[in-house]
Amino acid sequence: MASAAIDFGIGRILSVLENEVLQQTGLGDEIEMMKQKLMYMKSFLEDMDKNSGNISSSVFTTFVKNTRDLAYQIESIIDEYSYCISRRRGQALLTRFVHSPLFLWDRRPIVGKLEVMNRKIQEMSDLMNTFLPDRSQAALPTANGVNTKWAKNLGESSYFVGDDSLVGIDEARGKLTGWLLNPEPQRIVVPVVGMGGSGKTTLVGNIFRSQRVRRHFDSYSWVTISQSYDIEDVFRTMIKDFSKEQGLQVPSDLSSMRYRELVEMLVNYLQPKRYFIVLDDVWNTGFWKEISVAIPDGIHGSRVMITTREERIAHFSYGTMNRFHRIEPLKEDKAWELFRKRAFSGSPEQHIAPNIEPIARNLVQKCGGLPLALVALGSMMSTRRLESEWRRVYNSLNWELSNNPDLKDVQRILILSFNDLPYPLKHCFLYCCIFPEDYIIKRKKLIRLWMAQGFVQPTRGVKPEEVADSYIMELVYRNMFQVVFRNHNGRPKAFKMHDMVREISLMISRDEKFCDVFNDKAEDVQDGETRHLCIQREINSSIAQRNLQTLLVYSTTKQNVALPTALKLLRALDLEDSRIRKLPDSLATLFNLKYLNLTGTRVRKLPKSFRRLLNLETLNTKFSKIKELPTGISKLENLRYLVTFSHSNSDWSIVSGTKVSSDICQLKRLQVMDCIHAETELIRNLSDMTQLTRIGLVNVRKHHGHDLCNALTKMKDLRFVSLWSIDENEPLQLDALSPATTMEKLFLSGKLERLPSWFNTLHNLTELCLRWSRLAQDAIPCIQALPYLVWLSFFNAYEGDKLCFPEGFRSLKILLIGDMPRLNEIVIQEGAMPSLQKLHIKDCVMIKSLPSGIENLTKLQELRLRNVSDKLVESIREEQSKDCSKVNHIPTIKHYFITENGVSCENLS
């Protein structure tokens, strides 16, 4: 963590020093001096972090903290100066401003402060050279006090866990053992993947010790790899294992054998044998390239099992047949069973004190099904007898993880994953701990927050959104995030942090004065103590942090929110679902603000001075009371995302648009403009916004057709288009459109006089919704060949009585058919929709029987019926009916119907 702290201190400053405004203000010499010294200090600490040792240096720790504080001071100076520049910039052009007396007046204090910072940096550099050891020779402290030797010892101790201590592994053990004993003669590689502490080594160790497994193989070996390893030592360990197992003497010259000799000995020994090798705790795919030369791929039924935290290792191509198993957290009942074995080992469950059990179960919930945490916490609590002791631990679990020796292993094993992160990802990951416990983090929201904080490293030729997305995928691959929801293509859309991982992240963040959470259990956060803050209680005036850069408000009190003052350096303000009704006029003074989220608030309008937020990148008013944005929005020249979606009370339209002035079309950086009211003047100017990637327009009229098609055709990077006509009888005129080949999602709500001829050109389309199209012609032939279409919705889209799906729709997974009053037959020909998983039929009362050919949909997992004919429902309910036999392969069949008490659900499967 030492160099990570420096990285998001010094690394952040180096990024800020490239600020365009600063480069034009005559401070080049001061900035360059700072950059050179900071880069030297940063590279020095990165070198230290790459080394390992077991000496603890209080001097080093003090140096790291002082450097971090210095970095924060520099960042605040630059932020404050940017604040002044932005304020003045609203009054005059920058090219004129830099020569003005006002500029010279603002420049004087920052020059003086930068000179002071330069002197401090020089002093830090001198101290570093004086007191820190020579980095080329000295043994250096490891980050967070975690060294690889300890990690290997802890991993290998898990191998010896007795059967009586194991819970919830029977199913996984049976599956893995089956793969090992499979008669397949080709070698099979079996990766077992899961987050740190999930029990991978314990499970595989139990299988490895099994006599049934051992009798099946001629030779076997267990090697713990960990983050750092010597491949020659790995080979020596394997030779020792094989020699011991065969009752042979270990070669006397083994320690002096070179790489080639070791490989030759292993190949000669393993070539004719059926072997079983476990490679425990593998951290990168490069290891396989090193070891595979020594383990021949024969046809004797050999098996290699790998434990890892990395998803990409599980999916890596090993050149032979391979299967992988993912370790999931223990379910609630199994987690309780494991915890109870440790915490109440001396008494049966019925003797657990009634006042302690609820607290114990809450502690179990905190562990999130993580066996390592359950065992460690259960063992620690086994000596506690009083309710007050249990309650104190529950209320201060973060402190216990940091300070209690009994929980040190949990902290260390989870920190290993953090330490292995690339530098840019460390502060991105820690930032996520400010979200409330069990909070579901949406991918797009996190990307925009990271961008607002400058965490996303610029990469030539790649958009910052794409770089940030790669960060998220990396954290998912490393099992640092738990994926909660994926889109229809399997891409992660939302995720959360495991409770224990979040507690460890909070521990590190608080120590580094990086992030903090202020809730009912927390004391008041002191001024200047953190850079990023989440408030989960009523805000009061006692919170006024001068250097705060992120403020997230998730008030559990559901009371009106009064924003604190003195936040002029704030970059991100998130008030989602808070009860705030009015934004203060002081909002316009937040010149550094880049992210503003008002989702679900009661705010009705933005202040007129809102246009002074020149650095704003994201504005989200979704589900708020805001119906119109103030004029002058074109002043927000850095705006990238404008999201204004809200529900409508109309029977026809489920969304309502937000009104904006047509000068919004002057914004050249805007990429997302969602759910905007389609005014004629705006549609005429829309062709200037060629950079848009997503557009949503509400209240589209027929006479908009020509200008709208012209504008959309010019947008070559469009991925998502959503158009809603003003009412159900107003046609959408889209024949003249020539859509971008990048189009991935298309939602059309409104009458289509004919299906546009360009539909079959949408070769990258993944989602299509036709709503109230009321087509006379069948649209299926025009879209059945789209190769990547996975989600299709027909809602009052067709006026015919028969809907036929011929061969096609190779990728389709979800099909929704609704509100077609004349439709009485659905035909699914053999070979159509081979990948379909969900079929929903709603408000089609004329359909009396199941879709013909539904029995051919072998991958169908869910059939959902709502407001359909009684005859159709009865045909499924009657076990002897012909229709019932057609759906026996579908695991879930649900029938929804309206009663006096609302919507009810009947399970027909």
Q: Which pLDDT band, with edges at 50, 70 and 90, does 563 fall under?
A: low
Separation of alpha carbons 531 and 515, rounded Å: 6
Separation of alpha carbons 503 and 368, rounded Å: 12
- Give me the helices (H) in 523-656, please: none
Contacts of 773 (CB under 8 A, 6+ apart): 748, 750, 751, 752, 779, 796, 797, 798
User: Residue for token digits 């679902």?
Assistant: 577
Q: Does position 326 have pLDDT exceeding 60, yes or no?
A: yes
Separation of alpha carbons 178 and 323, rounded Å: 12
Q: Which pLDDT band, with edges at 50, 70 and 90, does 855 fall under?
A: very high
User: Any idea which of 314-318, 386-390, 588-592, 849-853 has the lowest mean pLDDT?
Assistant: 588-592
User: Residue for token digits 């959902």?
Assistant: 864
Question: Other CB atoms closer than 10 Å to residue 582's CB: what's the count?
Answer: 15
Rounded to an integer, the average pLDDT of 842-866 is 93
Residue 730's pLDDT is: 92
Separation of alpha carbons 770 and 818, rounded Å: 11
Q: For the segment 611-648, what is each residue's pLDDT rounded down to a tens digit?
A: 889 899 999 999 999 999 998 888 999 999 999 988 77
Q: For the segment 89-102, what is each residue's pLDDT rounded down to a tens digit?
A: 555 444 444 444 44
- Position with higher pLDDT, 126 vs 343: 343
Q: Which two tokens stand for residue 671?
A: 């990429």
Q: Does position 168 have pLDDT exceeding 90, yes or no?
A: no
Nearest to 618 by CA among 630, 636, 602: 636
Q: Which pLDDT band, with edges at 50, 70 and 90, does 700 fall under?
A: very high
Separation of alpha carbons 410 and 425, rounded Å: 22
Rounded to an integer, the average pLDDT of 678-695 is 95
Q: For the segment 709-764, what is each residue's pLDDT rounded down to a tens digit?
A: 999 999 999 999 999 999 888 999 999 999 999 999 999 999 998 889 899 899 99
Q: Quick one: CA dihedral 217, 220, 224, 228, positive or negative?
A: negative
User: Any idea which of 271-285, 316-330, 522-536, 632-646 has the lowest mean pLDDT?
Assistant: 522-536
Q: Which two tokens stand for residue 630?
A: 């103030």
Residue 58's pLDDT is: 67
Count Cα atoms within 13 angstroms, Cβ side, for 604: 1
Q: Which pLDDT band, with edges at 50, 70 and 90, does 179 fall under?
A: very high
Separation of alpha carbons 853 and 861, rounded Å: 15
Q: Are 908 and 894 in contact (CB under 8 A)?
A: yes
Q: How do beta strands 492-496 and 482-486 pair?
A: antiparallel
Separation of alpha carbons 106 and 116, rounded Å: 17
Q: Does position 285 have pLDDT exceeding 60, yes or no?
A: yes
- In angstroms, the Cα distances linking 13 to 5, 42, 79, 427, 770 are 12, 11, 10, 13, 49
Nearest to 272 by CA among 244, 242, 249: 242
User: Any idea which of 554-568, 743-757, 803-817 has the lowest mean pLDDT?
Assistant: 554-568
Q: For the segment 89-138, what is each residue's pLDDT rounded down to a tens digit?
A: 555 444 444 444 444 445 667 667 777 877 887 787 777 677 665 544 44
- Give me the helices (H) in 544-692, please: 680-685
- The DSSP element (H or E) to which 745 belongs, if any, is strand 745-749
The Cα angle at residue 414 between residues 410 and 419, in degrees rounded to 5: 140
- In angstroms, the Cα distances linking 251 to 239, 255, 638 are 9, 9, 69
Count Cα atoms within 13 angstroms, Cβ side, for 558: 0
- Give me the helices (H) in 255-331, please: 259-270, 286-291, 311-314
Residue 93's pLDDT is: 42
Separation of alpha carbons 520 and 44, rounded Å: 41
Separation of alpha carbons 865 and 869, rounded Å: 10
- Position with higher pLDDT, 670 vs 382: 670
pTM given for the model:
0.83
Q: Does position 321 have pLDDT exceeding 50, yes or no?
A: yes
Residue 142's pLDDT is: 46
Q: How do beta strands 791-795 and 814-818 pair?
A: parallel
- Give me the helices (H) in 132-210, please: 148-158, 170-181, 200-209
Q: Which pLDDT band, with edges at 50, 70 and 90, does 139 fall under?
A: very low
- The DSSP element (H or E) to which 413 belongs, if any, is helix 408-419
Give the type of residue at 82.
S
Contacts of 735 (CB under 8 A, 6+ apart): 705, 709, 754, 756, 757
Q: For the segment 464-505, what is each residue's pLDDT rounded down to a tens digit?
A: 999 999 999 999 998 889 899 988 878 899 999 988 888 888
Nearest to 799 by CA among 833, 772, 774, 827: 774
Q: Which two tokens stand for residue 395?
A: 């209320």
User: Residue for token digits 């951290």?
Assistant: 283
Q: Does position 59 have pLDDT exceeding 90, yes or no?
A: no
Phi/psi region, residue 18 (left: phi>0; alpha: psi -120 to 50; beta: rest), is alpha
Q: Which pLDDT band, with edges at 50, 70 and 90, does 156 fall under?
A: low
Q: Does position 867 have pLDDT exceeding 70, yes or no?
A: yes
Separation of alpha carbons 668 and 679, rounded Å: 20
Q: Are 68 and 9 in contact (CB under 8 A)?
A: yes
Q: Does position 455 have pLDDT exceeding 90, yes or no?
A: no
**Phi and psi of 510, rounded to 5°?**
-65, -40
Nearest to 449 by CA among 474, 425, 468: 468
Q: Does position 258 have pLDDT exceeding 80, yes or no?
A: yes
Separation of alpha carbons 896 and 867, rounded Å: 7
